[in-house]
Structure 1
Amino acid sequence: MIYSIDVRIEAPVRDTEVTDRVADAIRNVFPDAEPIHEDGRLVAEGHTLDAFSDVLHEQEILDTARRVFLQNSTDEGFDFSLKKQAAFEGVVNFAVGEPDELGEVNVEVRIREPDVEAFIDYVAPETDEGRPVDPVREYGDRVDPEDIDY
């Protein structure tokens, strides 16, 4: 799939935190991001969610991710937040409910191509019994779900 997106990732850095550990939390989930320190927070920008999508597949949380993305979507894109401590461990754990006292990793995705729903289908495809219904491999090649080792 060919797409054009902008991803903005922000995470506050509290006085009690080590900036490098917060940067590691961002990089562990978004390895293409290069966070910079800016007014008490780290900010990173990118143009892909491929590695993040891989983590969603590995953790088998496509349905949860899809639900979060769709609930927080507009015509321009979608937003979501992740728990900072889980991200430090390289785990995606969506932040819902009361904000964490250390803050969260906030992600804003703006999509130019394709439309928002098609991009969500790419990052977190629909599943049947936990397996992607129509998985997409690199370069957009369609594969038979039975041929995928989970």
Structure 2
Amino acid sequence: MIYSIDVRIEVLVRDTEVTDRVDDAVRNVFPDAEPVHEDGRLVAEAHTLDAFSDVLHEQEILDTARRVFLRNSDDEGFSFSLKKQAAFEGIVNFAVGESDELGEIDVDVRVREPDVESFVDYVAPETDEGRPVDPVREYGDRVEPDEGDY
């Protein structure tokens, strides 16, 4: 699939936090992002969610991710928030409900190509009993086969 997206990542850096640790939290789940410190927050842009999608697959949280993305979507894209502390450990934990004590990483994804729903299908495909319905998923130049293909 060829896609064109813009991802904006923003996270508040509290006075009690070390900026480098917040930077690490962002890079742990969005390794293609280049955070820049701006007025008490880190702001980053990216143009892929492939590594993030890999983590969703590894953690087996595709259904949760799909629900969050679709619930927070419109015709131009979708948004979501992640718990900062979990991201520091390289774990995706969606922030829902009340704000986390340590803060959140806010992510806004604008989709130009294809449409939003098709891109959500790519990042967090539908599953059957926790496994992606389509057993082969393309990641750029590489293909990840279904477990039974080994």
Instruction: Tell me whether the two structures share a fold, i.e. TM-score over 0.5.
Output: yes
- Structure 2 residue 42 is the aligned partner of structure 1 residue 69: no
Change (3 A) 1:148 1:83: farther
4+ long deviations beyond 6 Å: 140-144
Q: Which residue of 1 aligns with 2:121?
A: 121
Q: Which residue of 2 aligns with 1:59?
A: 59
Cα shift at 1:142: 7.8
Matches within 5 A, 1:31-110: 31-110=31-110
Q: Is the 8 A contact 1:133 1:145 kept in 2?
A: no
Q: How many residues align?
A: 149
Q: What SS does the aligned partner of 2:137 have?
A: coil
Normalised to the residue count of structure 1, the TM-score between the two structures is 0.93
Identify the structure with the greater strand proportion. Answer: 2
Q: Is the 8 A contact 1:34 1:45 kept in 2?
A: yes
Q: What is the alpha-carbon distance in structure 2 between the residues aligned to residue 44 and residue 139 of structure 1?
A: 22
- Structure 2 residue 127 is the aligned partner of structure 1 residue 137: no
Normalised to the residue count of structure 2, the TM-score between the two structures is 0.93
Structure 2 unaligned spans of 5+: none
Q: What SS does the aligned partner of 1:110 have?
A: strand
Change (3 A) 1:148 1:77: farther
Structure 1 unaligned spans of 5+: none
Q: What is the alpha-carbon distance in structure 1 between the residues aligned to residue 17 and residue 149 of structure 2?
A: 40
Identity of aligned residues (%): 79
Code of the residue aligned with 1:5 in structure 2: it is I
